[in-house]
């Protein structure tokens, strides 16, 4: 299966102020996520942004919010984004086939969302592994192994951006090349 930007949606999961400093490799995660967001914006892929219990975990970190000022966060209390009726309503409205998932934590919200999206076979969740993390590295690795065993596609931000770009003569190619350097 090759990914296409025309049928895709990016989902930024719970990269929030109070949890973020406790995440393993959080600085690299932020840099990678920002590169991915910039590239997906250049490719005109739409976004959803979620926040888990904002009252307790705070808002999305400023660097991400600044890149997605027009994207209103979807508040949720269920670990899976699919437990939010607002989130599911937006999925219904936007009607993507492929959802690129990234954020925190890999072994909780990212994992449960990917598994729930896969149910029924209509949607294809894709986890961008270098744009996800957990508090403990082992939790991330075990989650990625489980996701792969469950048939969830896993990729990296650079691979994804070039796959969506398709060709060096694509309009967004120069932007993508600058972003990944």
* Torsion on CA atoms 52, 58, 64, 68, rounded to nearest 10: 70
- Predicted local distance difference test score (pLDDT) of residue 70: 93
pLDDT, tens digit, 9 for 90 and up, residues 115-165? 999 997 889 999 999 999 999 999 999 999 999 999 999 999 999 999 998
Radius of gyration (C-alpha) of the chain in whole angstroms = 15
Q: pTM (2 decimals)?
A: 0.95
Residue 107 — very low, low, confident or very high, per pLDDT cuts 50/70/90?
very high
* Angle in degrees, CA 175, 176, 180, rounded to 5: 120
- Do 43 and 161 meet the contact criterion of CB atoms below 8 Å apart? yes
User: At the fourth CATH level, which superfamily is domain 5-180?
Assistant: Isochorismatase-like (3.40.50.850)
Q: Point out which residues pair with 75 in neighbouring strands.
A: 51
Burial (CB count within 10 angstroms: exposed 0-12, middle 13-18, buried 19+), residue 43? buried
Burial (CB count within 10 angstroms: exposed 0-12, middle 13-18, buried 19+), residue 77? exposed
- Predicted local distance difference test score (pLDDT) of residue 168: 80
**Domain locations in the chain?**
5-180
Helix (H) or strand (E) holding 63: helix 62-67
């Amino acid at each position: 299966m090759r990914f296409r930007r025309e049928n895709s949606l990016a989902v930024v999961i719970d990269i929030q102020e109070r949890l973020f400093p406790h995440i393993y490799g959080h600085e690299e995660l932020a840099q990678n996520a920002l590169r991915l967001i910039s590239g997906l914006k250049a490719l005109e892929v739409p976004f959803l942004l979620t926040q888990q219990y904002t009252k307790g975990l705070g808002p999305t970190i400023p660097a991400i919010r600044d890149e997605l000022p027009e994207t209103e966060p979807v508040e949720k209390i269920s670990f899976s984004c699919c437990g939010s009726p607002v989130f599911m309503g937006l999925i219904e409205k936007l009607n993507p086939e492929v959802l690129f998932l990234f954020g925190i934590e890999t072994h909780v919200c990212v994992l449960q969302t990917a598994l729930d999206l896969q149910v029924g076979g209509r949607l294809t969740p894709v986890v961008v592994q270098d744009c996800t993390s957990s508090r403990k590295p082992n939790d991330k690795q075990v989650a990625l192994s489980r996701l792969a065993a469950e048939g969830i596609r896993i990729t990296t931000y650079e691979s994804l951006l070039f796959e969506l770009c398709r060709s060096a003569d694509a309009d967004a190619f120069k932007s993508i090349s600058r972003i990944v350097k």
